[in-house]
Amino acid sequence: ELYPSACFLSGDRGCIIARSIEAKKMGIPMGQPLFMAKKEFPKCIYINAKHYEYAQISEQVMTVLKQFSPLVEVYSIDEAFVDLTGLSKLYKKNYYDLAKYIRDLIAQEVGIPVSVGVSRTKALAKLASDKSKTTEDHVCIAGKCGITKLLKSTEIGEVWGIGRRLEPKLRGHGIYTAYDYIQKNDLWLKSRFGKLGLELKYELMGNMI
C-alpha cells in the first residue's frame, strides 16, 4: 500500500486512540485494546503515541489560529473551530481562499499538513473537515448550496455526536445518512432523542435553534 493503515496507541499495551483514514476504512474501532486489534487486523501498523510532542505541536497550531482570528474554540488536541465571520472582507479572500490561507500558514509556521472544512455550523464544519481529508487540496467548503450534497454523502455514524451507541438505533429507523436524519420531523426526533437530537437536526441544516 502507498499509504499503510496506521493506529496510535495510548501505551505499549494500551488501546487505539487515533486511526488513519485507511485504518478507519478497515473497520478498526476507536478504543480497541492492542492485543485484540493485532489479532483482527495484523496488517495494520501500530505506533506508540508521543503525547508530549503532540501537545507541543498542537499548541503551535492553535497559536497560529489565534493570530488569524480572535474567536478560536480548541475542541481537542488536533481540532479547533475558528469563527470566520467578517474575515472574508478583512483578508479580501473568499472562504475557499481563506481555508487555503490557514492551511498554508500552518504548514509554513508549524511544518505539518492540516485539513480545513468550512460551513455554517460547527456540526457541518466538522463534516466538511472530515471530507477534506479525501480531497486533493485538503479543503472542503460546504456553503448553502453544498450542504445537501454533503449530508447525502455522510453516513449517519460519521455525524458528530451520534457515536457507535446511537448508530444502530437510527439505522433501525431507516436513517442511514445525515440527510435521512434531517428529513425526520421535529416531534419524532424530540420524542426519541430529546432536545439535543432536535438541535442536531437544525445544526445539520445550517441553522441554530
Distance of CA 160 to the CA centre of its chain: 7
Q: Does the annotation mark 79 as catalytic?
A: yes
Q: Cell 448553502, residue?
A: 144
Q: Which of 73, 79, 109, 155 is catalytic?
A: 79
Angle between helices 186-204 and 122-132 (to 10 degrees): 60
Distance CA 49, CA 78 (A): 13
**E strand or H helix that includes residue 19:** strand 16-19
> Considering all CA atoms of the chain, what is the largest pairwise distance in Å, rounded to the nearest integer?
54
Count CB atoms within 10 A of the CB of residue 203: 23
Integer Cα distance of 202 and 209 in angstroms: 7
Q: Are strands 79-82 and 72-76 parallel, antiparallel or unpaired?
A: antiparallel
The residues annotated with a catalytic role in the active site are: 79
